[in-house]
Amino acid sequence: MSDGNNIADLGAASRRLIRGCAHAALGTSLEGRAYVSLVATACDMDASPLLLLSDLAQHTKNLAAEPQLSLLFEDTAGFPDPLAGPRLTLLGRAEPCSDARALARFTARHPSAASYAGFADFGLYRVAMERGHLVAGFGRINWIEAADLRFAAEAAALADAEADIIDHMNRDHADALDLYATRLLGRQGAGWRMTGIDPEGLDLRRAMEVGGETARLDFSAPVLSPAAARQALVSLAERARGIPGA
């Protein structure tokens, strides 16, 4: 039920939460009882969550027996009442993923994971999204189906070029990345780097070690190709330069 809201907007709002969160609460079944744990997350181009899990972890053992899961994504920091903030409970199924590109997306978002991502007892999982329960604020509560949760447009060209775009921006346009963070997002400090780009925005990180600060910058319209990405990045830089510095 959409409660009169535009379902496409609700899907986009859900994806913003998935793409913007670096961690989520993972719910699995332990012999029929709810087992909840904290996990690091990234996501694929279509916003399907990615999880890098140890075979030794209890939640991974639970998923081996029952791959159905739930993930809670939330952005409630800064709300006097956290229950007034947006959150998404995502229902889906964990599927083993051997895609090297997807693993690279995960380790770019979580640099510390690169040290153990290749271990035999760690595995990457892609979450096949089935339904989402979005609480966007008081009285704004909706169920959203899988087709509306996923970003549906074809973005293979952007996915193929992602590594080159990231390398180019970090090597040649570090000043623009700092402007994105400080003037468009109101963050502090220099040294921001791009860690990912997808059709709906880009991911930034300052300080690559554990505990580094992350940020998400959304595009005003979907970007599906390297040429479109270049145009969007140039436009963002021009907009940032037009905003007076602090």
Domain ranges of the chain: 7-149, 156-241
Is 80 exceeded by the pLDDT of residue 10? yes
Mean pLDDT of 183-198: 96
Strand partners, 140: 137
Q: Do domains 7-149 and 156-241 have the same CATH topology?
A: no
Torsions phi, psi for 52 (to 5 deg): -110, 110
Mean pLDDT of 17-34: 97
How far apart are alpha carbons 149 and 17 in whole angstroms?
A: 11
More confident residue, 143 or 79: 143
How far apart are alpha carbons 89 and 104 in whole angstroms?
A: 26
CATH class of 7-149: mainly beta
Q: Count CA atoms within 13 Å of residue 62 on its CB side.
A: 20
pLDDT tier at 240, thresholds 50, 70, 90: very high
Is 60 exceeded by the pLDDT of residue 53? yes
How far apart are alpha carbons 58 and 35 in whole angstroms?
A: 9
pLDDT number for residue 83: 87
pLDDT tier at 79, thresholds 50, 70, 90: confident
Mean pLDDT of 37-45: 98
Condensed to tens digits (0 to 9), the pLDDT of residues 143-175 reads 999 999 999 999 999 999 999 999 999 999 999
Is 50 exceeded by the pLDDT of residue 4? no
pLDDT tier at 2, thresholds 50, 70, 90: very low
pTM for this prediction = 0.92
Residue carrying the six token digits 């199924």: 93
Task: List the 201-206 sheet strands across, edge first.
Answer: 192-198, 201-206, 213-218
pLDDT number for residue 211: 60
Is 90 exceeded by the pLDDT of residue 108? yes
Q: Which residues have a Cβ under 8 Å from the Cβ of 79 and sit 6 or more positions away?
A: 85
pLDDT number for residue 1: 38
Is 60 exceeded by the pLDDT of residue 15? yes
Condensed to tens digits (0 to 9), the pLDDT of residues 120-148 reads 999 999 999 999 999 987 778 999 999 99
CATH class of 156-241: alpha beta
Which long-range contacts link 110-113 to residues 24+ away (Cβ below 8 Å)?
A: 110/22, 110/40, 110/42, 110/52, 111/205, 111/208, 111/209, 111/210, 111/212, 112/209, 112/210, 113/40, 113/52
